Amino acid sequence: MAPATHRVALGLGSNLGDRRAHLDTAAAHLGQTAVSELQISSMLETEPVDCPDDAGPYLNAAVVGRTTLSPSDLHAVCESVEDKMGRPRRRGYHDNRIIDIDILLYGDLVVDTAALRIPHRYLTCRDFVLRPLSELAPEWPVPPDNTTVAAHLETMTSDVC
């Protein structure tokens, strides 16, 4: 019997170097190691939010696909990809980054631990997260209230959570 698969959505971001190449590389690694049927949104350039004054613009995208991994194993793969791409593990929360990979949604699951929070804590209040995700999965209900990604995007008023 084949292992169960779960629909997942991940957010990608980069504000250093060849940002487009970094997002493409991260998506390729994820597709090879953890996420099947991977789709990537178009890339959206945005000004940094809650970042140091010297932070350059970000390029953001979303990926949607399926995984057989548990949420914690998927999180470990995301961190491994970040490590392979040169993102330092010890850093300030809002530091510039070669790549940032966040689990946005994992089916209809809600996870709230010290290491992992799903849905992502800023999913519903950041345009640069919702807009790319809405391109791929506008009707995906976001737990716990099951308002769709598209509805959250329509009612969002600020990138400040």
**Does some domain include residue 160?**
no
**Does some domain include residue 1?**
no
Catalytic residues: 87, 97, 100, 102
Task: Render pLDDT for 83-100 as a digit per residue (tens, 0 to 9).
Answer: 999 886 665 556 788 999
Q: Which residue segment(s) compose the domain that 139 sits in?
A: 6-155
If one counts the domains in the chain, the total is: 1
Map tokens 């350039």 to a residue. 45
CA distance 101 to 29: 11
CA distance 58 to 82: 16
pLDDT above 60 for 5? yes
Classify residue 33 as exposed, middle or buried by CB count within 10 Å of its CB (0-12, 13-18, 19+).
middle
pLDDT above 90 for 8? yes
Name the band, by pLDDT with cuts 50, 70 and 90, for residue 47.
confident
Q: What is the CATH number of the domain that holds 115?
A: 3.30.70.560
CA distance 136 to 41: 6
Q: What percent of the chain has pLDDT over 90?
A: 76
